[in-house]
C-alpha cells in the first residue's frame, strides 16, 4: 500500500479547522484515486489500497470532528464507514483465500487437501457475495456524491 | 471499540496543541489496552489494542510534522504493532472455520504462537524502550 500522502502546506500554527480542510481534501483524493478496478478479484491489492485509503480518510474525519458542522460531519462519516465496512468484508475473504491457496499448494497433507479445496470454494462464494454488496458503494455515481459531500464539508471548515 | 473522547479541542486554536491532546489521549488508550492483551488467550483484548494502535498511527501520520523524530518513531512502532496484531486476528478468524482440518488448525495455532511472541517483543521494545514516553515528552 502506498504511504499516506503528505499534506501540502500543513502548518502546526495554523488553525485546527484550516488543517482539517487540508487533510480531509488530501485523504479524500487518495480514496477516489484508488477506486478503479477494486471489484477485480484477480488483483486483490487494488481493493486493499482503497481500503487503507478509506481508513485514513475515516481517521482524519474522526480526528478533526469538532471542525465540521455536526450534522454534515455525521452523515459523511457514516457513508465513509459504510464504504470501509463493505471493503473490509471483501478483504477478509481475499486474505483467507490467499492463505489457504498457499497452504494447499505447499505443505498441506494429501488427506486434508479435499477439505481445504471445499473451504476455498465456500470462501470464493462469500467473496463473490461481498463483491456484489460492495459494487453499489464504488459505483461512479455514488462516489461522485460522496466526493461532493466531502467537498462541502471542507468548505465549511474553512469558513 | 469506541475511541476515548478527547477533551478541550478548539477548532480556532492552532493545530499543534489540539494534536497534542489527541495524541496524548491515544497513547493513554494504547497503554490501558496493552496490559490485558499480554495474556496469550485474550484475543478480544488483542483486537482492541490493534484498533488503538491503528488510531495512534493514523493521527501521527497527519500530525507528526508537529512533534519531531519521536513522533515518527512512535508512528512506525504503532504500524508494526497494528500489523502483527492484525495477523493474529486473521488466525483467530480462520481457526473456527478450519474445523476438522487438523493440519490447517495446527498451522494456524503455531503461526499464532509465533506472532504472539513477536507482539510481546515489539510491545516490550517500545514500552520499556521508551518510544511512547519520548513521544509524550515531545508533545509539551
**B22 within domain boundaries:** yes
Chain A residue nearest residue B101, CA to CA: A112
In a domain, B6, yes or no: no
Q: Look at residue A121 in the predicted model and tell me its pLDDT.
A: 97
The per-residue pLDDT string of chain B (140 residues; one tens digit each, 9 = 90 and over) reads: 889 999 999 999 999 999 999 999 999 999 999 999 999 999 999 999 999 999 999 999 999 999 999 999 999 999 999 999 999 999 999 999 999 999 999 999 999 999 999 999 999 999 999 999 999 999 99
The C-alpha cell that represents B117 in the structure block = 511472541
Question: Residue A6 CB: number of other CB atoms within 10 A?
Answer: 10
Q: Which residues pair with A124 in a beta bridge?
A: none
Residue A66 C-alpha, separation from nearest chain B C-alpha, in angstroms: 6
Domain limits, chain A: 16-158
Preferred mutation among B103, B109, B139 to probe A, highest tally of A CBs within 10 A:
B103
pLDDT of residue B135: 98
Q: Are B66 and A12 in contact (CB under 8 A)?
A: yes
Q: Tell me if chain A has a CB within 8 Å of the CB of B58.
A: yes
A13:B58 CB<8 A? no
pLDDT in tens, A99-123: 999 999 998 999 999 999 999 999 9
B82: nearest Cα among B64, B61, B68 = B61
In terms of residue numbers, what domain contains B98? 15-139
Which of A4, A7, A17 faces B11 most closely, judged by CB atoms?
Answer: A17
Number of domains in chain B: 1
Count Cβ atoms below 10 Å from residue B113 Cβ, excluding itself: 13
Angle, CA B119 vertex, CA B116 and CA B124 arms, to 5°? 130
Residue pointed to by grid coordinates 476515548: B4
Q: Would you say residue B54 lies in a domain?
A: yes
* The three three-digit cell numbers of residue A64, written as one number: 478533526
For residue B111, is it within any domain? yes
- Asked if the model's pLDDT at residue A1 lies above 80, the reply is no
Looking at 3.30.360.10, 3.40.30.10, 1.40.20.10, 3.40.50.970, the CATH number of the domain A16-158 comes to: 1.40.20.10
Q: What is the pLDDT of residue B1?
A: 83
CB contact under 8 A, B104 and A112: yes
Q: Which of B10, B43, B107 is nearest to A112 (CA)?
A: B107
To the nearest whole Å, the CA of B41 is away from the closest chain A CA by 21
Q: Between chains, do A12 and B14 touch, taking CB under 8 Å as contact? A: yes
The pLDDT value given to residue A4: 87
- A7 CB neighbours in chain B (<8 A) are 62
Residue-wise pLDDT for A7-30, tens only, equals 999 999 999 999 999 999 999 999
Amino acid at each position: 500500500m502506498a504511504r499516506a500522502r503528505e499534506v501540502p502546506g500543513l502548518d502546526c500554527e495554523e488553525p485546527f479547522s484550516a488543517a482539517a480542510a487540508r487533510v480531509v481534501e488530501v485523504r479524500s483524493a487518495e480514496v477516489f484515486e484508488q477506486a478503479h478496478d477494486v471489484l477485480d478479484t484477480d488483483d486483490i491489492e487494488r481493493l486493499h489500497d482503497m481500503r487503507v485509503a478509506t481508513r485514513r480518510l475515516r481517521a482524519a474525519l474522526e480526528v478533526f470532528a469538532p471542525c465540521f458542522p455536526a450534522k454534515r460531519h455525521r452523515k459523511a462519516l457514516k457513508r465513509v464507514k459504510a464504504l470501509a465496512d463493505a471493503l473490509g468484508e471483501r478483504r477478509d475473504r481475499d486474505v483467507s483465500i490467499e492463505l489457504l491457496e498457499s497452504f494447499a499448494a505447499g505443505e498441506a497433507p494429501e488427506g486434508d487437501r479435499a477439505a481445504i479445496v471445499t473451504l476455498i470454494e465456500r470462501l470464493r462464494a462469500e467473496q463473490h457475495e461481498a463483491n456484489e454488496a460492495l459494487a453499489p458503494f464504488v459505483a461512479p455515481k455514488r462516489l461522485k456524491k460522496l466526493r461532493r459531500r466531502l467537498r462541502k464539508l471542507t468548505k465549511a471548515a474553512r469558513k | 471499540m469506541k475511541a476515548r473522547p478527547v477533551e478541550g479541542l478548539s477548532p480556532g486554536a492552532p493545530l499543534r496543541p489540539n494534536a497534542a491532546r489527541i495524541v496524548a489521549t491515544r497513547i493513554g488508550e494504547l497503554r490501558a489496552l496493552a496490559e490485558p492483551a499480554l495474556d496469550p488467550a485474550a484475543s478480544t483484548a488483542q483486537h482492541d489494542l490493534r484498533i488503538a494502535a491503528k488510531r495512534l498511527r493514523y493521527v501521527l501520520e497527519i500530525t507528526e510534522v508537529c512533534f519531531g523524530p519521536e513522533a515518527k518513531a512512535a508512528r512506525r512502532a504503532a504500524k508494526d504493532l497494528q500489523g502483527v496484531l492484525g495477523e493474529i486476528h486473521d488466525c483467530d478468524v480462520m481457526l473456527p472455520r478450519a474445523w476438522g482440518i487438523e493440519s490447517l488448525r495446527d498451522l494456524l495455532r503455531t503461526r499464532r504462537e509465533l506472532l504472539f511472541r513477536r507482539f510481546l517483543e515489539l510491545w516490550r521494545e517500545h514500552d520499556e524502550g521508551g518510544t511512547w514516553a519520548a513521544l509524550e515528552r515531545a508533545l509539551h
